[in-house]
Amino acid sequence: MTCQLQAAVLKVERDLALGHSPEALDAVVAGARRAMQSQLADRASPAMAVCGSTRLPTSSERSSHSSCPIIVVDVGGSTLRVGLVNVDPKTGDLGGTKTNPNTLKGGCPSREWDLSGCQQMSGREVFAWLAGRIREAVAEHYVTTTEASVTLLSDKENQNINGNIHYNNTCWPVAVSWSFPVIPKDHGRSASVVDMGKGWARVASDIVGWDLRAAFAQGFADAAEKDANSLKRLPQMEVCAVVNDSEAVLLSAAYRDPYTKIALILGTGVNAAALLPSPFPGPAEFIIVNTELSLLGGSADTSQDLDQNYLPTTSWDKQVDAASQRPGFQPLETRVGGKHLGELVRRCLVHVSNGNKSAWNNVPPYGLSTKTMAYATALEDAEQVRKYLETHVPRLVLENTDHNAVRLAVRVFDAVMSRAASLVAAHLVALAQLISLPTTSCPQPPIPTSKLFSPLVIACCGSVVVKYPGFMAQCQNSVTQLAKRHLPKGVDIRLSVGADGSLYGPAVACLLNMQSSESTRHN
């Protein structure tokens, strides 16, 4: 191992070491806050978008349909999940039902399907397929369920007038987590489709502008007609809530812990939702905001407006950004998202190992995954790390006697991940600042500081923040240090692992809408 290589690694560590540069990290907090305020004021911006949910839960919400579960539908970019959530009418506990233990996830029975086959369908065909899978999940779990006070039987076992099956005259509520951009409608009871991600162009050309509640209603009708000859008859189902992924995590966590005001998602990508005082005229004191954090920070183009372009940028950041599908589109995500962290490390290692002579230069772009880094970092023995990397990184061949090179590679892993933790922490503290800032509609901070930070809990989910060794601890440490400099004295911000928000969060949104409807009827 040459002194030159060690010096190159030290330079990488210095270039990335935001945690050891309070001034640089303070600038990120200030820049993030300015960008958030600017985007929030721009109602047309996709970042800092107001969600459909108008408040956080108090844990006192109960289902108005206690005899049946809430059907939760999580439509992701590549996977569909359908879960059945029962709400205990006395305790409000969100739990599953006694079904096949192999299908239980956190107490909620669920099933998954791959969505790749839907990408070339028409819009109507997609919703008919989604509705068919939802009906399939309901049939599987509730053929006989005495606890739900509902039994799904065949025509021969349960004849009713006009041949219809009677289910206590109850329409089963459906709550949807939709991972693509939408515009909320009817206070979160529905939403209009805005766009869809890569691979969904065929479907998007059909459904942009569609009302999701109406689209699912047509899908249920199409699916019911298709299996009309089936012996099993299922209850009617109707969408009662539509949320995005970050909003779902926040609602789910706040239902369990009322101190939760922010939710962070950090896995392949990054996003957050927060309860903020409303800056808009009107009766609402608070709004729930989907930050779309990935879009913040400017781009590698340093000629941009400094108010937006506040992220520290290295040559490796510029390379990763330039190689991304949409350069400049997701500045923060290319620095902290699990999709890009491994590629940042690979490019750093090519640099420190002398370019074309580097073993890492043989590794194809994005050949080093963040998951591989996580497993390698958890190994203590350098030889184990070397063997693991050679097994899991394409075309990587390391000298089996040069354990120092392996240790230096792990130091680069740590430097990139440490910077990511610091950047995430800075954005979380900026959000916490917005919670306590006065606004036009709230000249004074709407929540007393003593109550706001006693504590302020940030619910975290996603493979990077939850599973990468030491990442959450580093992030917590950075948040604590930044809070001392940027928030009122005595604040207590705690990072906590969030529950399965994509399943439980939509159910909570459904409960909120049910309660709102009940209040409207009684007033």
Q: Which domains does the chain have, with CATH numbers?
A: 3-51+262-497 (3.40.367.20), 70-243 (3.30.420.40)
Q: What is the pLDDT of residue 67?
A: 63
**Tokens for 492?**
């207590």
pLDDT reported for residue 156? 36
Distances (CA, A) of 474 to 16, 355, 424, 499: 15, 31, 10, 21
Question: Would you state the pLDDT for residue 139?
Answer: 84
SS (H, E, C) 269-326: CEEEEEEEECCCCCCCCEEEEECCHHHCCCCCCCCCCCCCCCCCCCHHHHHHHHHCCC
The pLDDT profile of the chain, 523 residues, written as one tens digit per residue, is 567 778 888 888 888 886 667 889 999 999 999 999 999 998 888 889 999 888 899 888 877 666 678 999 999 888 899 998 888 777 777 764 333 333 334 456 788 999 999 999 999 999 999 999 999 888 887 654 433 444 443 333 333 323 333 344 568 899 999 988 888 999 899 999 988 776 788 899 999 999 999 999 999 999 988 876 653 567 889 999 999 889 999 999 999 899 999 999 999 889 999 999 988 888 888 899 999 999 999 754 444 454 578 999 999 999 999 998 888 889 999 999 999 999 999 999 998 877 656 788 899 999 999 999 999 999 989 999 999 999 999 999 887 767 888 988 999 999 999 999 999 999 999 999 998 765 544 445 555 554 555 689 999 999 999 999 999 999 999 999 999 999 988 788 999 998 778 889 999 999 999 887 655 554 5
**Residue 316 C-beta-side C-alpha neighbours within 13 Å:** 22
Helix (H, G, I), strand (E, B) or coil at 362: helix
Euclidean distance between CA atoms 176 and 255, whole angstroms: 17
Residue with tokens 């009107």: 282
CB neighbours of 414 closer than 8 A, spacing ≥ 6?
377
pLDDT of residue 159: 35
Quote the pLDDT of residue 98: 33
Query: Cα(first)–Cα(last) distance of the chain, in Å?
Result: 77
CA–centroid distance for 460 within its chain = 9
Q: Who's near 57: CB < 8 A, 6+ residues apart? A: 251, 254, 255, 508, 511, 512
Q: Please state the pTM of the whole predicted model.
A: 0.85
